DNA sequence: TTCTTTTTTTAGGTTTACCTAAAAATATTT
DNA sequence: AAATATTTTTAGGTAAACCTAAAAAAAGAA
């Protein structure tokens, strides 16, 4: 596999993530994701097309080629292994690992990453509960569901919060919920769609419908 | 401390190392060290002078300012901590660590490096025996002498190898010499400046002039 | 000292990855 | 269907970090 620039890698990874939801990715979506301008995205799409990492016809949106997908998975593997290292070995807290891994992921030595994987004991998920692709780029596809759709007494891990406001973070902090928190729904109430949730062996507590809609989990 | 580009950091570090020997560094020396062209060096020297990292008057050579020295020491700290990590935790061999550390050293999170240092148990030297600057940029200057200057029958410990090639590593491994090895020179031969060396109570063996010049020891 | 060689700088060009503004294509309303 | 709005691309420009070739300065020899 060839080596790609930091910028190319960031684009490839962003397309990979966006196409999980949309199938095909648009110029504006990607510009927004990468905090860049649509014109810059078009420039890069032309380049990645020439490198055969991308299917792209002008005005038609784009998606990764199978080669592009392979590249994306190695970058995601690096990112998540470093996140695991930072959290597990260096005792970073869950919200600090991403920013640093965003840089470490671009150090492209295959040997480094495979040895790191071994050193860490071949972890299967990162500190946010997202699966780590293996040496061959194989990744467990676990689908995220909103907490509202989680059946009672099914252990799950929080993997995504769709609202980024100070208000929801404040509430989540108060309820001791963060990305990576393992929890179970104990009971659902039809009257207001609120639910009782339990984290580990702590006492159960209530979550409103509005909050539950914004918390996404993976069944473990 | 501000953040500098990968390129700026590579220049700063190279100047630091070159000025240990020369005091003042020239354009050609630096171009040669960084495998770049003299015109590129001049461009960068102007930039680093504006940023006050460098003392530089055209045609007069250059040396780092005290701020430049501080920056150099943090880059060297990162480099050597990563080398230690690679060797000690990921079981990289001696000659493989440098190339990877050359990239890892540019990830500039202070917290990352200080936590890594702690995780590694605050190592004092890297796998080549070079001292690791502490959090404040303080670096030990231990008086090391080349094996060529070690008097006969003086017990000493190997603390540094100045050549980092695979070839010297191969030879050192064959002779069972590594950083920390305790040895004594038993006899020196004026004809070819070779010497007989003994490790502990093992039988003495021969070391060539070329090898002895690259092995640095501290008298114990 | 004057000539010659070497070193260093300047001038001008390239590539990558950005940008803004305008044009073109596509999508949405009326 | 035509008008309007939005999205995307093109055109042209900038800054960083390189480059080559030529000019200028410094160093070394005659
Ligand atoms: Mn990144
Ligand atoms: Mn993650
Ligand atoms: Mn480097
Ligand atoms: Mn080293």
Between the CA atoms of B153, B155, B161 and B166, what dihedral angle is there, to the nearest 10 degrees?
80
Using the structure, give the distance in angstroms from the CA atom of A38 to the C1' atom of C30, rounded to a whole number.
Answer: 29
Q: Three-class SS of residue A18?
A: helix
Nucleotides in chain D with any atom closer than 7 Å to protein CB: 7-12, 16-22, 25-26
- Local structure of B27: helix, strand or coil: helix
Query: In this predicted model, what pLDDT tens digit does every residue of B197-218 receive, in sequence order?
Result: 999 899 999 999 999 999 999 8
Q: From CA B67, how far away is CA B51, in angstroms rounded?
A: 10
DSSP lists the bridge partners of residue A196 as A187, A206
Query: How does residue B180 score in pLDDT terms, banded at 50, 70 and 90?
Result: confident
A2 CB inside 7 Å of strand D: no
- The residues facing B184 across adjacent strands are B198
In this prediction, residue B147 carries a pLDDT of 95
pLDDT of residue B141: 80
C-alpha angle with apex B139: B149 to B95, nearest 5 degrees? 65
Tell me which ligand sits closest to the C-alpha of residue B100. Answer: 3
pLDDT reported for residue A93 = 85
- Using an 8 Å CB-CB cutoff, list chain B residues near A100: 107, 109, 111-112
- Residues A107, B107: C-beta atoms closer than 8 Å: yes
Interatomic separation, CA of residue B58 and C1' of nucleotide D20, rounded (Å): 21
CA distances from residue A185 to A92, A168, A217, B97 in whole angstroms, order as listed? 28, 19, 11, 48
Q: How confident is the model at residue A123 (pLDDT cuts 50, 70, 90)?
A: very high
Determine the pLDDT at residue B163.
Answer: 86
Q: Work out the average pLDDT over A80-93.
A: 96
Task: Kindly give the distance from the C-alpha atom of residue B85 to the centroid of ligand 2, in angstroms, as a whole number.
Answer: 23
Yes or no: say if B24 and B55 are a contact pair by the CB < 8 Å rule. Answer: no
pLDDT, tens only, A3-39 = 999 999 999 999 999 999 888 999 999 999 999 999 9
The DSSP secondary-structure symbol of B40 reads H
Could you say which of B89, B100, B112 has the minimum Cβ distance to residue A100? B112
Residue A101 Cα distances to A86, A123, B48, B53, B119, angstroms = 8, 16, 28, 29, 17
Tell me whether A121 touches chain B (CB under 8 Å).
no
Find which of A109, A110, A118, A122 to mutate to test the B interface (most B CBs within 10 Å of its CB).
A109
pLDDT value of residue B80: 97
Compute the distance between CA of residue B131 and CA of residue B142 in angstroms, rounded to an integer: 8
Cβ of residue A115 closer than 8 Å to a chain B Cβ: yes
Contact between A107 and B112 using a beta-carbon 8 Å cutoff:
no
Q: Residue B40: which nucleotide is closest by CA–C1'?
A: D18
∠ CA A159-A162-A164, nearest 5°, is 110
Nearest residue in B to A97, CA atom: B112
Q: What is the rounded distance in angstroms from the CA atom of residue B211 to the CA atom of residue B39?
A: 36
- On average, the pLDDT of chain B sits at 94
Task: Tell if A61 CB is < 7 Å from nucleic strand D.
Answer: yes
H helices within B59-142, ranges in order?
66-88, 97-104, 110-119
Q: Is the CB of A28 under 7 A from strand D?
A: yes
Query: Which residues from chain B sit within 8 angstroms of residue A103, using beta carbons?
Result: 107-109
CA atoms of A69 and A48, how far apart (whole Å): 12
DSSP A127-174: TTSPBPP-TT--------EEGGGPPTT--EEEEEES---HHHHHHHHH
Mean pLDDT of B10-25: 94
| Residue of A89, A108, A110, A120 to mutate for B, most B C-beta atoms under 10 A | A89
pLDDT band with cut points at 50, 70 and 90 for residue A164: low
CA nearest to B24, candidates B57, B2, B47, B52: B57
**Residue A109 backbone phi and psi in degrees, to 5:** -70, 120
Where in chain A does DSSP place strands (E)? 54-56, 62-64, 145-146, 156-161, 182-188, 195-198, 205-207, 215-219
Tell me the C-alpha distance between A77 and A95, whole Å: 19
- Taking only the tens place, the pLDDT of each residue in B54-111 is 999 999 999 999 999 999 999 999 999 999 999 999 999 988 999 999 999 999 999 9
Q: Taking residues B166-174, what's their average pLDDT?
A: 92
Between CA B38 and C1' D22 the distance (Å) reads 14
Contact B107 A111 (CB under 8 A): no
Q: Which helix (H) or strand (E) holds A14?
A: helix A6-22
For chain A residues 31-70, those near strand C by a CB cutoff of 7 A are: 35-37, 39-40, 43-44, 47, 59
Mean pLDDT of chain A: 94
User: How far lies A107's CA from each of A6, A51, A118, A121, B105, in Å?
Assistant: 9, 20, 17, 20, 10
Report the C-alpha gap between B11 and B36 in whole angstroms.
Answer: 11
Region of A194 (left: φ > 0; alpha: ψ -120 to 50; beta: rest) is beta
Confidence band of A161 (pLDDT split at 50, 70, 90): confident
Which pLDDT value is given to residue B45? 98
Query: Token pair for residue A158?
Result: 């929080």
Measured between beta carbons, the chain A residues lying within 8 angstroms of B112 are 86, 90, 100
User: Nearest to residue B151, comparing CAs of B197, B116, B211?
Assistant: B197
Cite the DSSP H helix spans in B147-186. Answer: 166-174
The pLDDT assigned to B144 comes to 85
Question: Structural domains in chain A?
Answer: 6-64 (1.10.10.10), 145-219 (2.30.30.90)
B41 CB neighbours strand C below 7 A: yes
Whether B146 has a pLDDT exceeding 80, the answer reads yes
| pLDDT exceeds cutoff 70 at B114 | yes
Share of chain B above pLDDT 90, in %: 81
| CA–CA distances in Å: residue A216 to residues A98, B88, B147 | 18, 39, 64
Q: Report the phi/psi class of residue A121: left, alpha or beta, with left for phi > 0 and alpha for psi in -120 to 50.
A: left
Would residue A118 be called left, alpha or beta, if left means φ above 0 and alpha means ψ between -120 and 50 degrees? Answer: alpha
Q: How confident is the model at residue A192 (pLDDT cuts 50, 70, 90)?
A: very high
d(CA A8, CA A15): 11
pLDDT score, position A128? 81
């Amino acid at each position: 596999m060839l080596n790609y620039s930091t910028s190319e890698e960031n684009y490839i990874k962003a397309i990979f993530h966006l196409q999980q939801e949309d199938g095909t990715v648009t110029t504006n979506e990607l510009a927004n994701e990468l905090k860049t301008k649509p014109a810059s995205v078009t420039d890069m799409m032309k380049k990645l097309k020439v490198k055969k990492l991308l299917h792209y016809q002008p005005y038609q949106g784009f998606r990764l080629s199978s080669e592009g997908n392979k590249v994306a998975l190695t970058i995601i593997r690096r990112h998540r292994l470093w996140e695991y290292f930072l959290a597990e070995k260096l005792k970073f807290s869950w919200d600090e690992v991403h920013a640093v891994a965003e840089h470490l992921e671009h150090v492209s030595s295959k040997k480094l990453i495979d040895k790191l994987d071994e050193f860490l004991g071949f972890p299967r998920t990162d500190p946010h509960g997202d699966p780590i692709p293996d040496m061959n780029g194989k990744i467990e596809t676990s689908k995220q569901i909103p907490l509202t759709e989680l059946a009672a007494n099914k252990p799950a891990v929080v993997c995504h919060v769709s609202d980024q406001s100070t208000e929801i973070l404040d509430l989540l902090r108060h309820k001791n919920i963060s990305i990576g928190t393992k929890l179970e729904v104990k009971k659902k109430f039809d009257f207001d769609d609120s639910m009782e949730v339990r984290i580990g062996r702590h006492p159960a507590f209530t979550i409103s419908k509005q909050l539950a809609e914004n918390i996404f989990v993976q069944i473990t």
